[in-house]
Chains A and B, each alone.
Chain A
Amino acid sequence: MRILIVDDSSMMRAMIKRVVKLTRVPVEEILEAADGAQALALLETNDVQLLLTDINMPVMSGADLLRRVAGDERWRHLTRVIISTDGSEARREQAAELSVRCYLQKPFSPEVLRDVLTDAAATERV
């Protein structure tokens, strides 16, 4: 499984990366992007199975990124997960319309992310 982490905080990306490694879920590669535009460029050139993205980012927000992904047939099978400080019901409803599999509110526990990864890995095997 190839994972793309999208967050404008390099510390948050590093933390998510560390948690991913701790879960021992088999991961082929972890890619990183600091905004939605960088993420799109990486999606164009890499076969990514799991997208973990923040919402509030400069240049291109996570919501705009997810709209672009949802509108492109090439990424139909991409598992999408939001990791955001905004945990409002309103934001979660918006996310559901963008085919987001899971919504994690920061701060989140490592166990929650492990469950998301396990679920994504199982989906990939099917």
Chain B
Amino acid sequence: MSSPTLPQLSEFERAVGGAIAGAVSTVAERSFFACVDRCDPPDLDEFETEWLVATIRFDDGPVCGSLACWLPTDVALRLFDAFSGRHPAAPLPPRHQLDDLVGEFSNMVCGAWLTRCDTHRVFRLGQPVVDRASRPDDDESHREWLAVNNRPVAIDWDIVQAPPDAAAAR
């Protein structure tokens, strides 16, 4: 399996990526009893699953922009089971509940990250918007790949108003 070539990242981008990875770990481990590790970008051609993507916008805080969490459907289902107590053999949850779960996951990740950015400033989160896609977008310029329970999850971030000090994003 060949991995795509990683783009060159600035110190600021690495700091943001590291901070977001930390937020995902906190949320996944505490609310979903899941293990999180850093991982290389997977070969997406090997995936036949559908992906859920929850996008959330944030403003009025230390930084403004958006964050998107890409989860394969099977990962979303496992997180759903851990969060809701559903037995894996039980009937599948309705689509709106799975969307709600993925939206809440992105909400918590974004909130945990922004809280760490600058604890002396409040921020405002928009409503998560959940869509489905056959694979994550090709634009990987601001993307962190993480292994959640050994399955790949991608977090995209876009900051439209960066703080003057890059350290604020850590």
- Tell me the smallest distance from the CB of B114 to a CB of chain A, in Å: 7
CB contacts (< 8 Å) of A71 on chain B: these are none
Q: In the complex the two chains form, what is the Cα distance from A51 to B43 in whole Å?
A: 47
How many chain B residues touch A (Cβ–Cβ < 8 Å)? 29
Is the Cβ of B111 less than 8 Å from the Cβ of A12?
no
How many chain A residues touch B (Cβ–Cβ < 8 Å)? 24
Is A25 close to B, CB under 8 A?
no
Is the Cβ of B83 less than 8 Å from the Cβ of A11?
yes
Interface flags, B74-108, vs A, CB<8A=1, else 0: 00000010011100000000000100110110011
Instruction: Please pick, from A9, A56, A85, the residue contacting B112 in the complex, using a CB distance under 8 A.
Output: A85
Is A97 close to B, CB under 8 A?
no
Q: Other than the known A105-B115, A106-B112, what 18 A-B pairs have Cβ atoms closer than 8 Å?
A: A9-B103, A11-B80, A11-B83, A15-B83, A56-B107, A56-B124, A56-B125, A58-B127, A84-B111, A85-B107, A85-B111, A85-B125, A88-B115, A105-B111, A106-B31, A107-B31, A107-B108, A109-B30
